[in-house]
């Protein structure tokens, strides 16, 4: 299952890398900061077809088209086709494809792909986390030597004061802070020891499902 899902993830990455940015149509969903493109739908449609062919009885929760409950076997895919759409539309290479597989409400498999760097992070429950086949582990640095990543929940700015108050506090007590724009990828960077902490005040299940198992 893992190997087949990894191949599907890389095909999703091919769609993203092949995007025509000059002709791209960008739309806002719930707010001006909540963007969507043809490619979000194209990647999710491909993932829906390919993942359901692997596990036809599984449910499917995707960011762009809501919920398809599928069968009753207890399996469910949680998918963010492009996590970091605002980065993607500007050809800023910090976006990811995120796919988690849950059984009876518990994550059993998670994969996050940075298509631009060809970095595939993945984990199976109880078997450790990996990057392109190599084991990864979180940093042992304390906060004073740590780098903090954070998100600003641009689709919901009601907690902006809290977000930046915490970012300021962490900045004053750490090496530095960063705002990158893909929660799934940022969490994987914590798992790989590239930074020490990530926070965001509001996330949806598809944003963090896969990465939560990896980290």
Same domain? For 88 and 71 the reply is yes
pTM attached to this predicted model: 0.93
CA distance 80 to 188: 15
At residue 65 the predicted structure's pLDDT band, cuts being 50, 70 and 90, is confident
Give the residue among 76, 45, 46 at the shortest CA–CA distance from 58. 76
Mean pLDDT, rounded, for 133-139: 98
Residue 36 pLDDT? 81
Q: Contact at 8 Å (CB) between 174 and 198?
A: no
Q: Which of 135, 157, 181 is the last residue of a domain?
A: 135
Q: Contact at 8 Å (CB) between 8 and 51?
A: yes
Same domain? For 87 and 159 the reply is no
Same domain? For 48 and 118 the reply is yes
């Amino acid at each position: 299952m893992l190997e087949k899902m990894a191949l599907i993830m890389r095909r999703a990455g091919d769609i993203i890398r092949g995007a025509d940015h000059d002709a791209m149509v960008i739309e806002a969903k719930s707010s001006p900061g909540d963007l969507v493109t043809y490619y979000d739908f194209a990647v999710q449609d491909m993932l829906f077809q390919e993942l359901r062919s692997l596990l036809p009885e599984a449910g499917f929760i995707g960011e762009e088209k809501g919920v398809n409950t599928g069968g009753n076997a207890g399996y469910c895919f949680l998918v963010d086709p492009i996590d970091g759409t605002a980065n993607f539309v500007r050809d800023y290479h910090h976006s990811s494809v995120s796919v988690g597989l849950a059984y009876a409400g518990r994550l059993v498999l998670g994969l996050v792909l940075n298509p631009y760097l060809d970095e595939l992070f993945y984990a199976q429950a109880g078997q450790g986390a990996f990057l392109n086949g190599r084991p990864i582990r979180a940093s042992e640095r304390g906060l004073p030597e740590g780098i903090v990543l954070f998100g600003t929940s641009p689709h919901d700015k009601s907690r902006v004061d809290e977000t930046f108050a915490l970012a300021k506090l962490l900045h004053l007590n750490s090496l530095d802070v960063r705002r990158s724009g893909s929660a799934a990828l940022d969490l994987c960077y914590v798992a790989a020891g590239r930074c020490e902490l990530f926070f965001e005040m509001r996330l949806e299940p598809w944003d963090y499902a896969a990465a939560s198992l990896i980290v």
